[in-house]
Amino acid sequence: MSDLRADKVSVAFAGLKALSDVDLSVASGQIVGLIGPNGAGKTTLVNVLTGFQAATEGAVRLDGQPLSGLKPHEVRRRGIARTFQGGRLFRDLAVIDNLEVTGVGLGQSRAAALAEAEAMLDWVGIAPLADRIAGTLPYTDERRVAIGRALMGRPKFLLLDEPAAGMSAAEAQDLSALIRRIAGEMGCGVLLIEHNVGLVLGLCDHIVVLDSGATIETGPPAAIRASEKVRHAYMGTAAETDLPVLEAGLEVEA
């Protein structure tokens, strides 16, 4: 079983700490949620885990081996894939080409990359989009294509940065089912960063909550839902007896 771990990770920008001593771990087949108010440091942590941002202190390890100093493409080849908030598809290429070029970038031959791209589009459920130009896709389809592209090469870990943004409730449920398949059928560890806290609570095995760059709570969904610290971070007050956005699964600006 593989393990992706951040140990006491801190990141400072011009003396201002974006992250302070953050611990996080994801195991094979596990779905871990990462939530927190706006500016909590969630994307910064994802950037550290994937080589886009160097940690000021602490370390990131894959199966016990440090990843410090590796460039993003080197981290990707180690088996850690991600999506981005903005999709970042190759907008002038067809959907199938977006996946194929990723396979080639991972060292596959053109033929092998194309074969996997076709199979992956089918597995994700978006095969009819294969010949569409990526830049013409609706926003929610862009997200699904980005996930399919990230799954090329069958990574050990997939980090999803706000994949449900802009999705309807029905589309978010379809996404939830897909994430469960990624973890269950592929055995891929998933780190889910989401605005939709209800989606995270209903999907994740374990949740980490950040506020102002620091971990304020960790645990299973029931513990997060009941946490006074989480309630205070989102609502600005600890006086409420409920956190409606967590109970009702409403979208929260996280």
Global pTM value: 0.90
Domain that holds residue 113: 90-136
* 3-class secondary structure, 103: helix
What are the pLDDT digits (tens) for 28-59?
999 999 999 888 999 999 999 999 999 999 99
- Is the pLDDT score of 248 beyond 80? no
> For residue 236, what pLDDT is reported?
66
| pLDDT given for residue 237 in this prediction | 43
Torsion of CA 154, 119, 47, 89, to 10 degrees: 160
Q: 73, 107, 136 — which closes off a domain? A: 136
Co-location of 168 and 233 in the same domain = yes
Euclidean distance between CA atoms 124 and 200, whole angstroms: 20
Same domain membership, residue 98 and residue 200: no
Of 103, 136, 169, which residue is a domain's last?
136
Burial class (CB in 10 A: 0-12, 13-18, 19+), 218: middle
On whether the CB atoms of residues 33 and 207 are closer than 8 A, the answer is: yes
Task: Quickly state the pLDDT bin for 253 (edges 50, 70, 90).
Answer: very low
φ, ψ dihedrals at 16, nearest 5°: -95, 125
Same domain, 55 and 125: no
- Is 80 found in the same domain as 170? yes
Same domain, 105 and 184: no
Same domain, 42 and 105: no
Please tell me the total count of domains within the chain: 2
SS3 assignment, position 62: strand
Q: Is the residue at 141 inside a domain?
A: no
Crossing angle between the packed helical segments 95-105 and 110-124, to the nearest 10 degrees:
130
Instruction: Indicate whether 149 belongs to any domain.
Output: no
Q: To the nearest whole percent, how much of the chain has pLDDT over 70?
A: 93
Q: Hey, what are 82's tokens? A: 């991600």
Residues 72 and 97 in one domain: no
Q: Is the domain of 220 the same as that of 184?
A: yes
Top pLDDT among 182 and 13 is at: 182
Sequence-distant (6+) residues with CB within 8 A of 211 are: 36, 37, 40, 229, 233
Query: Is residue 143 one of the residues assigned to a domain?
Result: no
Q: Please write the tens of the pLDDT for every residue from 89-131.
A: 999 999 999 999 999 999 999 999 999 999 999 999 999 999 9
Both 84 and 97 in one domain: the answer is no
6 to 21, 149, 152: CA distances (angstroms): 9, 25, 24
On whether both 60 and 74 belong to a single domain, the answer is yes
Could you tell me if residue 228 is inside a domain? yes
Q: Are residues 7 and 109 in the same domain?
A: no
In tens, the pLDDT along 141-165 reads 999 999 999 999 999 999 999 999 8
Q: What is the mean pLDDT of residues 234-249?
A: 50
Angle at 61 between CA 253 and CA 101, to 5 degrees: 70
Same domain, 197 and 232: yes
Task: Name the amino acid, one letter, at 147.
Answer: I
Give the Cα separation of 164 and 102 in Å (integer). 22
Residue 142 falls inside a structural domain: no
Say if 198 falls within a structural domain. Answer: yes
